[in-house]
Amino acid sequence: MLTEELFLALVEQASLAPSADNMQPWEFRRKNDSIEVYCSPLRMLPTDALSMFSWISIGAAIQNIVLAATKYNLCAKVIYKEVEDTTEPVAVITFSIGTTKSALTDFIRIRNTNRNPFQLESIETNCMERLNQSVEKFDARIHWTTDYKHFKQMAYMDAHSSYIRLAHKPLHDELFHILRFTTKEVNEKHYGLTFESLEVPTIAVRFAKQLRYWSINQMISNLGIGRLVAKHLSTKLMRAGGICLITVSRRNRIAYIEAGRAIEQLWLTVTAEGLSAQPYGVLPQYFTKKDIEPDFFPPLYKKAITAHEKPFYSIFPNAKNEFPALVLRLGRTDKPSLRSDERLPIEEIIHKTSKE
């Protein structure tokens, strides 16, 4: 049933999924008529709390396979594996014949991260209802705000957390490990974040390059420039038709993979509705990191992050008893995204066992 050709076609669709910092932390292997899903430790960010963003990304890739399979009249079933050992598959996708083609398959290729400002008009109630329905069948929840006052609060909190990625050395070093400044770097690696896709002025590229040196970065940081850059990037949270938060009920791998599947289903529905989306990972990531590894942040940063929790949960009151996975800014824009569509060649995401 699952020929090599079909397997490669499904893996190609999986590779178009979103991933945090475009790390594409996934690998796939055909085993008889099923697809084994592996993580790629080399492309998982060491500071990622509980590897939550890697699992979310892998979940998104899995969902693309599930949807793409319907084009071939195949109904996919995802079985999560409890294994600790990351050399073992984290999920296995099996197939049975007979299903109807999902309309979302047409949007896998055009879904992207759009970092432009969006129009301010609120997402219509009917549309929001369809977006809510898109995540209903997953073990993850969606919470909304369409209140401009909340957008401003979110922008403030994002700015007052994002600067920590430049200011705290382990996060700074990791950031410059995954940022790609030149076409040569992009073509060599095929993963990581291209600076161009961040939609910042060209002059910022030259400036940002210098920040890779910790001493220069610290000097600039002392002048408050890191905070200014963070503020600039965060203001776009004020240009949205709605902001949603996806939460999980447990903090574990399976829950985050499920959230990733829900996020991809939501994002493809958003695309089908003619809307655009941009994730904001920093608050869910830092809230989780602070809880799981209390000593990771120096006291000053920890205090700043903790101070955001109360206002955050007053914006999303029903999320209080849940755990945050990802924030997404949604809305309409005529400006196309400079999508970071760089992807690894398919052969590099085919998992090889030690015997192969």
Ligand X SMILES: Cc1cc2nc3c(=O)[nH]c(=O)nc-3n(C[C@H](O)[C@H](O)[C@H](O)COP(=O)(O)O)c2cc1C
* Residues near ligand X (CB under 6 A): 18-22, 53, 56-57, 60, 112-113, 115, 193, 278-282, 326, 339-341
For ligand X, which residue has the nearest CB? Answer: 18
Minimal distance in Å, beta carbon 164 to ligand X?
13
Minimal distance in Å, beta carbon 20 to ligand X?
4
Classified as helix, coil or strand, 17 is coil
Minimal distance in Å, beta carbon 200 to ligand X?
11
Minimal distance in Å, beta carbon 58 to ligand X?
10
Residue with Cβ nearer ligand X (142 or 326): 326
Minimal distance in Å, beta carbon 236 to ligand X?
9
Residue with Cβ nearer ligand X (34 or 114): 114
CA atoms within 13 A on the CB side of 41: 5
| Coarse DSSP helix, strand, coil percentages of the chain, rounded to the nearest 5 percent | 50, 15, 30
Q: How far apart are CA 99 and CA 202, in angstroms?
A: 48
Residue with Cβ nearer ligand X (35 or 326): 326
CA atoms within 13 A on the CB side of 308: 23
Residue with Cβ nearer ligand X (115 or 253): 115
Q: How far apart are CA 241 and CA 266, in angstroms?
A: 15
Minimal distance in Å, beta carbon 355 to ligand X?
32
| Pick from 237, 207, 243: nearest CA to 116 | 237
Residue with Cβ nearer ligand X (40 or 113): 113
Residue with Cβ nearer ligand X (21 or 258): 21
289-294: long-range pairs with CB below 8 Å, 24+: 289/47, 289/49, 292/49, 292/50, 292/251, 293/49
